[in-house]
Amino acid sequence: MNAPHPPKVAGIDPTVPTPAHTVAPAPPATEAGPAPDAPAGDPLPVTVPDAPGSLLQDRLAGWVSDLTTLHELTERMCATSDLHTALEELLRAGAALVGARRGLVVLEPGDGLGPRATLGLGLGRADLGHLETVPREALLTGSADLLAEPGLDPRHREVATRLGYAAGHALPLTADGTRLGTAVWLYDEPAAPDEHHRQLAARYLGQAAGHIALLLEVEHTRAGAAALTEELLPSRLPRIPGVQLAVRHRTGPRGGSDFYDALPLPDAALGLSVGSVTGGGPGAVGAMGRLRASLRAYAVMEGEDPVAVLSDLELLLRLTEPARSATALFAYCEPAARRITLAGAGHSPPLLTGERRTEFVETSLSAPLGMLACWEAPGVEFRVEPGETLLLYTDGLLHRTGETTDRAFARLRAAAAGVPRALRGDPGAVADHVLRTLLPEDGGAGEDDVVLLAVRFD
């Protein structure tokens, strides 16, 4: 007759031996027989184990093991620096604690500020799509046997059967009394974690939720700074006969302090500018907005003289923002004549690319605005050929490559020269090709903003 199997508990294998760090239980009390040489009539020696002490040591070892596990998992969570990675770590750690293979976390902050997200562990995109069709209140509840539950939502039963899970264990994600979302782990067969592992998972989620709440605040701040930056930049580029314009702007995590502009000027001219204000955060974003607005005013008054525009801007910055400096480049374009006059203040030179040439525009070295008592730099005048594209960019494009300055310039020139002929008629396609070639898929190293303004002349 076979011995009965112990009941199945999720996350626990009954055949696993006692951990090495746990004190082995003392042997049962036995009465030893008389020693061979013991004189008759002597009392028999009795061995009595210290049962209460062994039990206490066993419990202490278990507590130490639990605390060590929670400490290691919490440290791994605190090492995450973005919300997506933190949620992935939450799912992995929770799955290990409750003995599950798959799971998902639904982030729905109770304050309604977002962001809202659904992330899966061991679930593909199509699986998550099926789960999205299940009512939230039905999906985010745990049961040891979902398929046998009489009140289970019919759609949940259908999706559970299709995805092959039969049980779930759900835990709320709450920080300081504020609901952030829910995590649920899925089992392939009816099972549930025991009370001990449920408590461990709940304690871990309590610690992890605090870190996730901090990352949510960071996301809110970044989103606010990005929205403010976008509001301070042109909502659309103007349409000017003889030129086509396109811009690509990537805001860094500290908030955008790089700017660009394209401004129609009298006599069918066009003013182009790019620049960057030192620092980051809301203060730098506000300074960027003020600087760009001032540059537009000076461009309208004396745009045909870029040196005068930047001189006025430098004086204003020195008087109103004495603790800041900025780099800037302003170009006065005459599309009909395909003639450009520009001046730069500590800014990288533009890149001119076309069928016959790809070269940097020779500009003189100059200091950034606000660095010297009086800024001076000569202007540069040049002409472009029909079909050529002028690329104006901020230094973040070079910094994000992670290369030295010389190598970054060389890579930028090679990326522009390698634009396929079929794409050269579209400045947006030219800009996209340069970004794809120059920067890795994750956006590149560093936290700098990136601005790339492409101007194609017909």
Backbone phi, psi, residue 82, to 5°: -140, 160
C-alpha–C-alpha distance, residues 390 and 455, integer Å: 5
pLDDT at 362: 86
Three-state secondary structure call for residue 381: strand
Beta-ladder partners of 104 = 120, 184
Residue corresponding to tokens 């960019």 = 393
C-alpha–C-alpha distance, residues 271 and 248, integer Å: 18
pLDDT at 15: 37
C-alpha–C-alpha distance, residues 41 and 43, integer Å: 6
Q: Report the length, in residues, of the chain.
A: 458
Residue corresponding to tokens 């059967």 = 161
Q: How far apart are the first and last CA of the chain?
A: 92
pLDDT at 253: 62
Token reading at 352: 């001119």
pLDDT at 251: 79
C-alpha–C-alpha distance, residues 233 and 246, integer Å: 14
pTM over 0.75: no
Q: What is the CA angle 308-346-443, rounded to 5?
A: 125
Cβ 214 vs Cβ 411: under 8 Å: no
- Name the pairing type of β-strands 167-175 and 358-360: unpaired
C-alpha–C-alpha distance, residues 344 and 127, integer Å: 54
pLDDT at 164: 93
Domain with CATH 3.30.450.40 in the chain: 63-224
Return per-residue pLDDT of the chain as tens, 458 residues. Answer: 444 444 444 444 433 333 333 334 444 444 444 444 544 445 545 554 556 778 888 888 888 888 999 999 999 999 998 899 999 999 999 999 999 999 999 998 877 776 788 999 999 999 999 999 999 888 888 888 888 888 888 999 999 999 999 999 999 999 988 889 999 999 999 988 999 999 999 999 999 999 999 998 888 877 777 777 777 888 889 999 999 999 999 877 666 789 999 999 999 999 999 999 988 777 888 889 999 999 999 999 999 999 999 999 999 998 998 889 999 999 999 999 999 999 999 999 999 999 999 999 988 778 899 887 777 788 999 999 999 999 999 999 999 888 999 999 999 999 999 999 999 999 999 999 999 999 877 555 566 889 999 999 99
Best CA proximity match to 364, nearest among 344, 384, 340: 344
Token reading at 395: 């230094």
The architecture of the domain spanning 63-224 is: 2-Layer Sandwich (3.30)
pLDDT at 27: 47
Cβ 46 vs Cβ 80: under 8 Å: no
List Cα–Cα distances, 157 to 71, 201, 338, 431, in angstroms.
Answer: 37, 26, 68, 49
Residue corresponding to tokens 């835990």 = 171
pLDDT at 220: 81
Q: Would you state the torsion angle of the CA atoms of residues 29, 30, 36, 42, taken in this order, to the nearest 10 degrees?
A: 80
Domain with CATH 3.60.40.10 in the chain: 233-457
SS3 content of the chain, % helix, strand, coil (to 5): 40, 25, 40
CATH pick for 233-457 out of 3.30.420.40, 3.60.40.10, 1.10.150.170, 3.40.50.300: 3.60.40.10
Residue corresponding to tokens 């042109």 = 234
C-alpha–C-alpha distance, residues 218 and 441, integer Å: 23
Our measurement of the distance from residue 426's CA atom to the centroid of its chain's CA atoms, rounded to an integer in Å, reads 30
